[in-house]
């Protein structure tokens, strides 16, 4: 056997494990089980479920000290399952079948106790439910926007935040009763108030959403500037070329029509055609002129419309700039102004909390000093009383004459 034996890389070991795994899964459904045990773990067979779980648990074992006992236990379990599987329902169960039923009932009792404990005491169970990050009902917001409402003249008023529920009175403080002054912290340009660690899950969720949204908007602005803006400028250049071609085409048509009319008038004078013929040719010429005039008017209208769009700056580039880039940048700017206003409100709250904390600390020091002075006065007065008592209880050893004279 090699010194560094890795079972997962040995083909013979893999074939043996897979053969044992398939044999156990094929033999598990053949063991008859009561109805309450057959459906206790869901639609799958409980024995097959436990086999899969055991193989999944031991999948990362590479030490022969752990692999050999696991394979030995698997082969023993295979013999027990074969012994417990009965060909007909009338066959009496043997000891192996009884041991399997007893084992499954014990596991089922443990599973039900764990699920019951998880339902009643989720934080104290072995598999506690993860705490929810959703906002708790009945909680008051820390910051409230007290700015003037939006109007037509000022659709985006500058936000102003206040903290109506903070700072709290000293009587409302829990725990030790001492006020904890928060500190202002930044999380990717978003101001937050930090008191203790770990950070609440609700705060982490909100910060993650805000940061992802801001990053997506910033990337969108970059994509519009780098990718969409060159395409829009290319479309504008193409429209300019088309407008120039239409104007040039119209000018050529007008020049051709002018030369054609001069030639026709000269030929009519020289040949001296009849009046009827001249009238018919005139009607045809007028019809041709009208048709060419309609096409020319259409081309001139298109060229003028394109030129008007360029003069009014109603182009692809301008549309993308106003309704894309400037819009997103405006949203980012308003969001930054809102965060600055929130940070100002948080700083004012920190200053108020610090002032109250200093005032309460001075009050506690004064109260402690007063208690100490009262205790000292009580001690001095008690000492004087004790001295007087001892003086009165001391026997008088002076002569009788002095005592009488006294």
Please state the φ and ψ torsions of residue 396, each to the nearest 5 degrees: -90, 115
Please state the φ and ψ torsions of residue 272, each to the nearest 5 degrees: 65, 55
Q: Which of these, 315, 303, 299, 313, lies nearest to 241 by C-alpha position?
A: 303
Is the full-model pTM beyond 0.85?
no
pLDDT, averaged across the chain = 79
The alpha carbon of residue 162 and the mean position of all alpha carbons in its chain are separated, in whole angstroms, by: 26
Above 70 in pLDDT, residue 130? Answer: no
pLDDT tens per residue, range 141-197? 888 999 988 888 888 889 999 998 888 888 888 777 888 899 999 988 899 998 888
Region of poorest pLDDT, from 61-75, 213-227, 312-326: 312-326
Element (H, E) at 229: helix 229-271
Above 60 in pLDDT, residue 125? Answer: no
């Amino acid at each position: 056997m090699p010194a560094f034996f890795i079972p997962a890389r040995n083909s013979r070991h893999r074939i043996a494990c897979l053969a044992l795994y398939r044999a156990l899964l094929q033999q598990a459904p053949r063991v008859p089980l009561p109805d309450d045990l057959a459906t206790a773990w869901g639609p799958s067979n409980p024995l097959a479920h436990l086999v899969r779980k055991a193989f999944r648990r031991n999948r990362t074992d590479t030490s022969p000290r752990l692999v050999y006992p696991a394979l030995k236990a698997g082969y023993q379990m295979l013999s027990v399952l074969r012994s417990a599987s009965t060909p007909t329902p009338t066959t009496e169960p043997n000891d192996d079948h009884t041991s399997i039923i007893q084992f499954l009932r014990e596991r089922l009792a443990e599973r039900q106790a764990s699920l019951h404990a998880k339902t009643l005491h989720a934080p104290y169970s072995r598999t506690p439910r993860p705490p929810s990050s959703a906002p708790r009902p009945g909680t008051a917001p820390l910051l409230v926007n007290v700015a003037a409402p939006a109007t037509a003249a000022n659709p985006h008023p500058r936000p102003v935040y206040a903290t109506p529920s903070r700072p709290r009175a000293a009587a409302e403080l829990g725990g030790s009763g001492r006020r904890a002054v928060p500190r202002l912290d930044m999380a990717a340009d978003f101001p937050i108030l930090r008191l203790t660690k770990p950070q609440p899950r609700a705060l982490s969720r909100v910060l993650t959403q805000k940061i992802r949204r801001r990053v997506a908007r910033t990337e969108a602005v970059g994509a519009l500037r780098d990718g969409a803006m060159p395409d829009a400028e290319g479309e504008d250049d193409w429209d300019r070329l088309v407008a120039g071609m239409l104007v040039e085409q119209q000018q050529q048509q007008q020049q051709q029509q002018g030369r054609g009319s001069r030639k026709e008038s000269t030929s009519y004078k020289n040949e001296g055609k009849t009046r009827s013929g001249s009238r018919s040719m005139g009607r045809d010429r007028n019809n041709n002129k009208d048709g060419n005039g309609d096409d020319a008017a259409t081309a001139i209208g298109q060229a003028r419309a394109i030129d008007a769009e360029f003069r009014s700056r109603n182009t692809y580039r301008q549309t993308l700039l106003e309704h894309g880039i400037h819009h997103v940048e405006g949203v980012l700017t308003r969001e930054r102004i809102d965060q600055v206003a929130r940070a100002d409100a948080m700083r004012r709250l920190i200053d108020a909390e610090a002032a109250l904390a200093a005032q309460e600390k001075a009050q506690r020091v004064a109260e402690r000093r007063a208690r100490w002075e009262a205790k000292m006065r009580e001690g001095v007065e008690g000492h004087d009383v004790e001295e007087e008592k001892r003086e009165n209880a001391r026997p008088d050893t002076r002569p009788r004459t002095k005592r009488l004279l006294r």
